[in-house]
Amino acid sequence: MSCLTATKAPRVDIVFDQYVSPSIKDYERNLRKEENSIDFNINGPMQVRPTDFNKELKNIKFKQALVTFLIEHWHDPEMVPFIGQTIINLNYDCCYSYKLDNNNIVQTINNDLCCENHEEADTKLVYHACQLENESAANVLIKSCDTDVLIIMLGNMDYLKSESLNIYMEYGAANKRRILNVTQLHIELGPTVCASLPGFHAITGCDYNPSFFKKGKKRPFQIVQNNLDYQKALTDLGKSDVSELHELQYEAFATLEKFVCELYGYKDLADINNARFQKFCATYKSKSTDEPFQKDLLKYDASNLPPCKAE
Instruction: Answer yes or no: do 15 and 107 share one domain.
Output: yes
**pLDDT tier for residue 4 given thresholds of 50, 70 and 90:** low
Residues with Cβ < 8 Å from 193, sequence gap 6 or more? 224, 225, 231
Q: Which of 147, 167, 187 is the last residue of a domain?
A: 187
Q: How many Cβ atoms are within 10 Å of 115's Cβ, its own excluded?
A: 17
Mean pLDDT, residues 169-190: 90
Q: Between residues 31 and 146, which one has the greater pLDDT? A: 146
pLDDT at 50: 84
Instruction: Answer yes or no: do 59 and 102 share one domain.
Output: yes
The letter for the amino acid at 115 is: C
Can you tell me the distance from the alpha carbon of 52 to that of 178, in angstroms, rounded to the nearest whole number?
Answer: 28
- The secondary structure element, H or E, covering residue 106 is strand 104-109
Residue 86 lies in a domain: yes
Residue 94 lies in a domain: yes
Instruction: Answer yes or no: do 164 and 257 share one domain.
Output: no
Judged against a pLDDT cut of 60, whether residue 5 lies above it is answered with: no
Can you tell me the distance from the alpha carbon of 213 to that of 210, in angstroms, rounded to the nearest whole number?
Answer: 9
| Residue ranges making up the domain that contains 171 | 134-187
Can you tell me the distance from the alpha carbon of 4 to that of 275, in angstroms, rounded to the nearest whole number?
Answer: 55
Residue 128 lies in a domain: no
Q: Which of 143, 161, 187 is the last residue of a domain?
A: 187
Q: Between residues 42 and 244, which one has the greater pLDDT? A: 42
Instruction: Answer yes or no: do 211 and 279 share one domain.
Output: yes
Q: Which of 65, 84, 119 is the last residue of a domain?
A: 119
Sheet (strand 87-91) strand order: 11-15, 87-91, 95-101, 104-109
**Nearest Cα to Cα of residue 146 among 181, 129, 121, 127:** 121
Q: What's the helix, strand, coil split of the chain in %, to 5?
A: 45, 10, 45
Residue 124 lies in a domain: no
Summary count for the chain: helices (H), strands (E)? 13, 7
Instruction: Answer yes or no: do 183 and 199 share one domain.
Output: no
Q: How far from 104 is each of 83, 91, 179, 250, 282, CA to CA, in Å? A: 10, 21, 35, 57, 74
Residue 127 lies in a domain: no
pLDDT at 248: 64
Judged against a pLDDT cut of 60, whether residue 2 lies above it is answered with: no
Instruction: Answer yes or no: do 141 and 42 share one domain.
Output: no
pLDDT at 45: 86
Q: Between residues 189 and 240, which one has the greater pLDDT? A: 189
The DSSP code for 175 is G
Looking at mean pLDDT, say which of 183-192, 201-210, 272-281 comes out highest: 183-192
Mean pLDDT, residues 179-204: 95
Instruction: Answer yes or no: do 183 and 195 share one domain.
Output: no
The DSSP code for 302 is G
pLDDT at 253: 87
Identify the weakest region by mean pLDDT among 53-57, 145-149, 187-191, 275-279: 53-57
Can you tell me the distance from the alpha carbon of 150 to that of 152, in angstroms, rounded to the nearest whole number?
Answer: 6
Into how many domains does the chain fold? 3
Mean pLDDT, residues 177-199: 94
Instruction: Answer yes or no: do 181 and 197 share one domain.
Output: no
Instruction: Answer yes or no: do 83 and 150 share one domain.
Output: no
Instruction: Answer yes or no: do 55 and 110 share one domain.
Output: yes
pLDDT in tens, 61-120: 888 899 999 999 998 999 998 888 899 999 999 999 999 999 899 999 999 999 888 888
pLDDT at 266: 93
Instruction: Answer yes or no: do 111 and 143 share one domain.
Output: no
306: cis peptide before it, omega within 30°?
Answer: no
pLDDT in tens, 126-161: 999 999 886 666 899 999 888 999 999 999 999 998
Instruction: Answer yes or no: do 8 and 109 share one domain.
Output: yes
Residue 226 lies in a domain: yes
Residue 7 lies in a domain: yes
Residue 125 lies in a domain: no
Q: How far from 39 is each of 52, 60, 81, 119, 135, CA to CA, in Å? A: 16, 9, 32, 22, 44
